[in-house]
Amino acid sequence: MSFPRYENYKDSGVEWLGEVPEHWGVAPLKRGFEVRLGKMLQPESSSHDELLPYLRTANIQWYGVDVSDIKLMWFSQKERSQLTLQSDDLLISEGGDVGRSALWRGEIDNCHFQNSINRVRARESNSGGYLYRHGRLVKFNGLRLKKLFTGPPGGGGFCRLVSRV
């Protein structure tokens, strides 16, 4: 399949991307989405913590979020405000099948997430669903995502990548 060329092109400013049609906007991923890593396991409570449901890598499946086995963990008020899931949040696994992702649809009220999951939340008019579908397209076209999610030697993972992109 071949598409007609646009009349004018410009440099995207991204080495691997090259030129793009002149009317396209090009911006770092971090400008359109907020990426946050979840909470490390906390077996005991401290003052004012609340025992709440959370997702872990096992809950993130390619077909969606599996809520048949939900665990509970202690969350402080600050953690609750930062780590509560919202509908259309994209959840990306850093463990198991690296890059496995699912969209959160609000299956459980007041749900949070563990540090083996990156939450990607759209800013302004962007869509977590669009990013999810793009990720599935890349995955199922056989491109390898492992480097993307594990990052360079020394760690950093997806959150570090997005902060640089």
pLDDT tens string 76-116: 999 999 999 999 999 999 877 777 899 999 999 999 999 99
- The CATH number of the domain covering residues in 31-164: 3.90.220.20
pLDDT tens string 56-80: 999 999 889 999 999 999 999 999 9
Q: What is this structure's pTM?
A: 0.75
- For residue 161, give the nearest of 85, 98, 102 by alpha carbon: 98
